[in-house]
Structure 1
Amino acid sequence: MSDPIIVDAHHHVWDLAVRDQEWITGDDLAPLRRSFALADLRPQAERAAVASTILVQTVPVAEETPELLAQAASDPLVAGVVGWTDLTAADVADRLARLRELPGGEYLVGVRHQVQGEPDPHWLLRPEVLRGLAAVADAGLVYDLLVLPHQLPAATAAARRLPGLAFVLDHAGKPAVAVAELQPWASHIQNLAGEPNV
């Protein structure tokens, strides 16, 4: 039996000289307040026998996804990219098609939005968002859920409404582990995990 192939399914890179990462605030995140490149990952990936990585978007800026795709095209460590596009736009399908036509476009495997920053806990269930998610499914891509615990019920409902779309939960839905508050997160996670497309 051969050794398993290890894929890092969620990795970020950014260059603060190109674009700020406004989410990196406060003392707790201060160690992240620098640029990170694939060169920073490579030696650690080699030590851990990680064969490849999936680059995941960090900010809801259209320019970032083409940059990530270009990195994927030029570096064999990258197996795929989870990018960003405006899911509420009327032309989501066209935008996804244009991304696939770019250098590295064949590496686009999914889309994500910072739902955690949306004030509406039911943002994922808005008609225009569901239409956008359906376009993601039609494009054969996955959708990464970046949500907080109170948004998990809407994520579950969206998964039920779109059985043809594969959903990936990022960061376990960000439970309040530091203060040991696991409910209602644990119940919400159990419900979400029950959906076959999650």
Structure 2
Amino acid sequence: MTRHLIDAHLHLWELDRHPQPWIDPESMSEIDRDFTASDAAGELGRHGIVDAVVVQADNSLSETEDLIAAAATGSVVKAVVGWVDLLGDVPAQLARLRGLRGGAALVGVRHLAHLEPDPAWLLRPDVTAGLTAVAEAGLVVELVVRAHQLRVVTELVDALPAASFVLDHLGKPPLLAGGAELERWRTDLADLARHPNVVAKVSGLGLEADHLGWTAASLRPAVDHALETFGPDRLMFGSDWPLVRLTRGYTAWWETYLQLTAALGAAGQKAIDHGTARRTYGIPSA
């Protein structure tokens, strides 16, 4: 059976317009350049993928405007997870973004919470008020956190039961550290998975393992645990392109993902390959 995937997690950037200060030119030379919707279409097209969700990489409204513009061109970008200032007038910001050409593609909001000095930043009352406004506008609340912040995420989900949440990269399992750290991630992910309004992305795992030496076997513990706790109906595939270029690359991750999910039945594969993404982000069937 041919498997049809949606890439639910990729990034675009033009460094002159939106510098990415976290990119080290020496150790990250593979991504120290512009990546456009056309570049993404070429990479995804080589793997038979024609639909993608682009996710913010910069806490700025101007980047979100650019991502919406990319979606408006009829490109591979079918949905945008952007950024708004959660401490500002969230409804007004969302109304302006949605009023742009292509603004209907804005389906979610993310803040780079894992870079905040306060690991519990998401629980600040002013932040939760902003996230409540996002949810009330019918948008997904997308979360990028480190493994030690998963308990914060669970507390946030408890506080906002009406919101729909997406957890990026399975909460960044500490595959290299292993041991007690990985066991805590397992416990915390299982606790979070008990909340039916949370889905998660099987993405970005190569960056949490040996970047150039990971294998299906080294990633399997994380993927199998996610399948056991969330199930394929609440998981979705993502490449984390172009950051996946810092590891073994798009093709290696795509092949590994197919291998790690090969034992799922047809219904499970359809869910994790594209069904969860279509349902979560409102991406219509071709």
Structure 2 residue 159 is the aligned partner of structure 1 residue 161: yes
The residue identity in structure 2 corresponding to 1:73 is A
The residue identity in structure 2 corresponding to 1:158 is L
Of 17-26 and 147-156, the range deviating more from structure 2: 17-26
Q: CA deviation at 1:63?
A: 0.8
- Alignment partners' CA distance in 1, 2:173 and 2:29: 21
Q: CA deviation at 1:164?
A: 1.4
Structure 2 residue 38 is the aligned partner of structure 1 residue 42: no
Q: CA deviation at 1:52?
A: 0.6
- Alignment partners' CA distance in 2, 1:97 and 1:43: 32
Give the structure-1-normalised TM-score: 0.92
The residue identity in structure 1 corresponding to 2:118 is D
The residue identity in structure 2 corresponding to 1:169 is L
Paired position in structure 1 for 2:146: 148
The 3-state SS of whatever aligns with 1:128 is helix
- Alignment partners' CA distance in 2, 1:156 and 1:19: 32
- Alignment partners' CA distance in 2, 1:79 and 1:46: 14
- Alignment partners' CA distance in 1, 2:3 and 2:191: 30
Whether the 8 Å contact between 2:18 and 2:58 is mirrored in structure 1 is no
Identity level (%): 44
Residue 130 of structure 2: which of 132, 136, 139 is its match?
Answer: 132
Give the structure-2-normalised TM-score: 0.65
5 Å matches for 1:45-194?
45-89=44-88, 91-180=89-178, 181-194=181-194
The residue identity in structure 2 corresponding to 1:116 is H
Whether the 8 Å contact between 2:38 and 2:75 is mirrored in structure 1 is no
Paired position in structure 1 for 2:5: 6
Q: CA deviation at 1:75?
A: 2.7
The 3-state SS of whatever aligns with 1:10 is strand
The residue identity in structure 2 corresponding to 1:190 is A
- Alignment partners' CA distance in 2, 1:59 and 1:29: 17
- Alignment partners' CA distance in 2, 1:118 and 1:68: 23
Q: CA deviation at 1:17?
A: 2.1
- Alignment partners' CA distance in 2, 1:46 and 1:60: 29
- Alignment partners' CA distance in 1, 2:143 and 2:7: 17
> How has the CA–CA distance of structure 1 residues 26 and 176 changed in structure 2, closer, same or farther, with 3 Å as cutoff?
farther
Q: CA deviation at 1:3?
A: 5.7
Higher helix share: 2
Q: Which runs of 5+ in 1 are unaligned?
A: none
- Alignment partners' CA distance in 1, 2:72 and 2:103: 8
The residue identity in structure 2 corresponding to 1:176 is P
The residue identity in structure 2 corresponding to 1:135 is A
Q: CA deviation at 1:43?
A: 2.3
The residue identity in structure 1 corresponding to 2:72 is A
Could you report, residue by residue, the CA deviation over 1:84-128 in whole angstroms, capped at 9, with x for unpaired residues? 011122x11111111101111100000000000112121111111
The 3-state SS of whatever aligns with 1:88 is coil
Aligned residues: 196
